[in-house]
């Protein structure tokens, strides 16, 4: 019973953070599963969290698609190449020793926290549709950035939104809001690819997935409501969350190095 409560509670916390500050909250899923829920295998924690991340992203994608914030041609090409990278990355990740993988994951959390402190930049050039005159330059950039983002996402078992959004801005020159909406196509695809790869090796605990998602759904609703009340303080909330992610990242590194 305690195990179930901790799982639902951890899912609620991740969902609450996602609803409150947006992208990045899912990176807390793995350390919560390992150090709070008590999942002994880092690989099972990554495989399980990948399913939850993908389902969360799909839910958000539906909302952004209805609002017209998804540039489907660019998003689809980016995600298609990224799926190939995610498959390779997740295959490599499964071969890593669990403690070493957690050490690398903790270091990534610190990097993500530092990235959160930077104000997102809009595209430096206006968006141009991928017609024949621009496709020759746009397509290779989308393929390269997509493959790289998918590789890292699959290796660490994360959604990778903090990588995908700036990559879409840089490669396709999408406006920031459109890049955020379009990135969810990739985050969903990368999460599903990583989850499928881990599931084939029996590294997904489906019972934990169910409880984690239930908790995440409730938490995201609460976080979303609070976000509306604190809309003017969202940047400050992001700074606070970045500090939390960095602290947890350092803890994960130290804990994993101690064995």
* 31-66 pLDDT tens trace: 999 999 999 999 999 999 999 888 878 877 887 888
Q: What is the mean pLDDT of residues 150-157?
A: 91
Q: So where are the chain's domains?
A: 2-258
Please tell me the distance from the alpha carbon of residue 45 to that of residue 50, in angstroms, as a whole number: 8
Of 152, 220, 157, 150, nearest to 185 by C-alpha is 150
Task: State the chain's mean pLDDT as an integer.
Answer: 85
Please tell me the distance from the alpha carbon of residue 237 to that of residue 254, in angstroms, as a whole number: 26
Residue 89: is its pLDDT beyond 90? yes
Please tell me the distance from the alpha carbon of residue 117 to that of residue 100, in angstroms, as a whole number: 27
pLDDT value of position 159: 75
Contact 123, 174 (CB under 8 A): yes
pLDDT value of position 93: 93
pTM (global) more than 0.75 = yes
pLDDT value of position 172: 85
Higher pLDDT, 119 or 256: 256
pLDDT value of position 60: 79
Please tell me the distance from the alpha carbon of residue 101 to that of residue 97, in angstroms, as a whole number: 6
Token pair, residue 237, equals 């909330």
Judged by average pLDDT, the poorest of 54-63, 189-198, 206-215 is 54-63
Residue 133: is its pLDDT beyond 60? no
């Amino acid at each position: 019973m305690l195990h179930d409560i901790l799982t639902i509670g951890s899912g609620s916390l991740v969902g609450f953070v996602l609803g409150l500050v947006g992208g990045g909250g899912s990176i807390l899923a793995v350390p919560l599963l390992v150090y709070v829920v008590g999942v002994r295998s880092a690989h099972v924690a990554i495989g399980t969290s990948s399913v939850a991340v993908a389902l969360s992203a799909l839910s958000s994608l539906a909302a952004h698609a209805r609002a017209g914030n998804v540039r489907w041609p660019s998003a689809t090409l980016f995600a298609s190449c990224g799926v190939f990278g995610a498959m390779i990355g997740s295959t490599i990740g499964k071969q890593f020793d669990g403690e070493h993988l957690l050490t690398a994951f903790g270091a990534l959390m610190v990097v993500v926290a530092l990235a959160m402190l930077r104000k997102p930049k809009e595209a430096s050039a206006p968006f141009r549709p991928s017609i024949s005159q621009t496709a020759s330059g746009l397509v290779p950039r989308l393929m390269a950035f997509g493959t790289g983002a998918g590789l890292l996402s699959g290796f660490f078992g994360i959604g990778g939104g903090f990588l995908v959004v700036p990559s879409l801005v840089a490669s396709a020159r999408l406006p920031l809001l459109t890049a955020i909406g379009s990135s969810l196509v990739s985050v969903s695809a990368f999460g599903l690819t990583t989850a499928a790869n881990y599931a084939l090796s029996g590294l997904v605990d489906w019972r934990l997935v169910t409880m984690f998602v239930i908790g995440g759904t409730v938490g995201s609703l609460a976080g979303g409501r609070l976000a509306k009340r604190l809309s003017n303080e969202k940047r400050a909330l992001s700074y606070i969350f970045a500090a939390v992610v960095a602290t947890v990242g350092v803890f994960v590194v130290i804990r994993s190095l101690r064995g």
